[in-house]
Amino acid sequence: MKKITILACLFFAVVSNAQDKRPDNWFNLDSEKDNVNGVGTERTYEELLKGKKSKTIIVGVLDSGVDYMHEDLKDVMWTNPGEIAGNGIDDDKNGYIDDIHGWNFMGSKDGKNVEKDNLELTRVYKSLKAKYDGKTESDLTSKADKKEFKFWQIVKADYEKEKDQAESQANQYRFIREAVGSVVDKIKKEKGVEKVTLEDFKKFDAKDQKDKQGKMIALAQGASGMEVEDLLEQLDEALAGMDGSRLDVNADTRAIVGDNYNDITEKYYGNGDCKGPAAFHGTHVAGIIAATRKNGLGIDGVADNVKIMSVRCVPDGDERDKDVANAIRYAVDNGASILNMSFGKKYSPGKKVVDDAVKYAESKGVLLIHAAGNAADDIDEVIHYPCKKMENGKVPSNFMDVGALSWKPGDEIAAPFSNYGKQTVDIFAPGVDIHSTVPDNNKYKDASGTSMAAPVVAGVAAVLKSYYPELTPKQIIKILTKSSVKTYKDKKVIKPGSKDEMIEFSELSKTGGIVNLYEAVKMAQSMVKVKG
């Protein structure tokens, strides 16, 4: 999910040709007072929660890692009270040595870490290819093998399609990088400057077609608020992620970890480096939930009294089911009340072990908030894993799927990349051009994706749990969905993934609603009073 989110953000920004810019901190603003589709965070603290007491709760960020030394996060990081940093001893005897701010299930005991991994599609393709490549259904005798062979044909077609799309996308990004980069170089040479501004692009006299296209793209980016240097950086990151490892059947990145990967019951592996080598995604998510409020730095997170536990289980590529299951259990066992899961994939050979971990979290009263995904798919039809529906057909009471919302009004309100589903997606939340923390040197950047929408909901849920700790996951989900703003419910919006196909916003989720902290707190107050 990590790299997909970055690419979704980049694609959206390049093609949108926006003529205006999102308001700063828009996800915390209010639809009524500020006329933007935020969740009403600031209004809630000012009008409903001022002077009220709250309980500190732990939110587990299951992701690529979190920069726990970031200026806006260091004061809100969970610190294991039973562990002594750096002594190489499992002081609290929880099975994890030096797990100070969380744990890393993608690392080795000697400190090495997995950064890139292949897609689950690649791993499934490789395992089935060894068994069925070159065979026909007539070569098989058992019903089980014939059934699996049909699945192999689906996987093979999907893999080949993915390879073609990856090559096409890489070519597209290379062209954009070369076109914009060429104009930047020419402007620098002509004007003798080190940094090129939007005004420089406007004045640049583009003579050939490639320069004209590079100028057009840069101006579109500038209109949407992204600096040219940031565009080039994101393109370079995107291209670096397209090195082929995702689809490389011979890649063996798991060897770094040193676990017995086939033993899905194995729990005690990894290391305490819960930041890891590529913490952009997880750091951005953590900031949305809980960046220190009112400290005069960067941004304000949604929740004001939480601690962030970083559990690293998401690589640049697809997460592995064993790691996800262990990450859920680790966070639950170490006190997290809410887990944010901004990741997902198309295949899940170890779904049962994840289902069991979800049920474990449910039994412990822990709420799971999951990003719906960025493929503009109807996930009622195209399953996005992990999914709330279990192998036995049951649906747990502690699992939410979140779609992404744009700050733009009217028919552009649904993010063009967001997955949706009338039966599967519970709610929509801000997920386009979200400004948040990023790792190293205390930086902040915009990113887009359902990966950004999920932590907005996790932050709202964390506020409810913090101020009304007696609420159960089932009650919190009920509050979030019933109190969601239905302004757009019966209005036509542009369907995600299309240019101009219109659909009622109510068809994109169960509720047709947008999460709203102000309304959620009012409902929570009422529910707690009635209960008392």
Provide the annotated active-site residues: 236, 281, 451
The Cβ of residue 238 has, within 10 Å, a number of other Cβ atoms equal to 21
SS3 531: helix
Half-sphere exposure of 282 (CA within 13 A, CB side): 31
H/E element holding 445? strand 443-447
Angle (CA) 204-206-207 rounded to 5° is 145
Please check whether residue 435 is in contact with residue 24, taking contact to mean a CB–CB distance below 8 angstroms.
yes
Half-sphere exposure of 207 (CA within 13 A, CB side): 2
Query: CA separation (Å) from 405 to 45, 49, 300, 402, 427?
Result: 23, 26, 19, 10, 10
- State the Cα–Cα distance between residues 313 and 64, nearest whole angstrom: 6
How far, in whole angstroms, is CA 223 from its chain's centroid?
A: 25
Angle (CA) 320-158-237 rounded to 5° is 60
Q: Which two tokens stand for residue 173?
A: 């990004």
Half-sphere exposure of 229 (CA within 13 A, CB side): 6
398-415 b/e with 16+ CB inside 10 Å = b?
Answer: bbbbbbbbbbbeebebbb
**Which value, in Å, is the radius of gyration of the alpha carbons in the chain?**
23
Reference 362, options 392, 396, 339, 330; nearest CA is 396
Residues 6+ apart with CB under 8 A from 53: 467
Please check whether residue 439 is in contact with residue 283, taking contact to mean a CB–CB distance below 8 angstroms.
yes
Angle (CA) 261-266-270 rounded to 5° is 75
- State the Cα–Cα distance between residues 13 and 338, nearest whole angstrom: 31
Q: Give the orientation angle of helix 2-16 with respect to helix 228-240, to 10 degrees.
A: 140
- State the Cα–Cα distance between residues 229 and 196, nearest whole angstrom: 8
Q: Which two tokens stand for residue 509?
A: 């989720």
- State the Cα–Cα distance between residues 201 and 180, nearest whole angstrom: 10
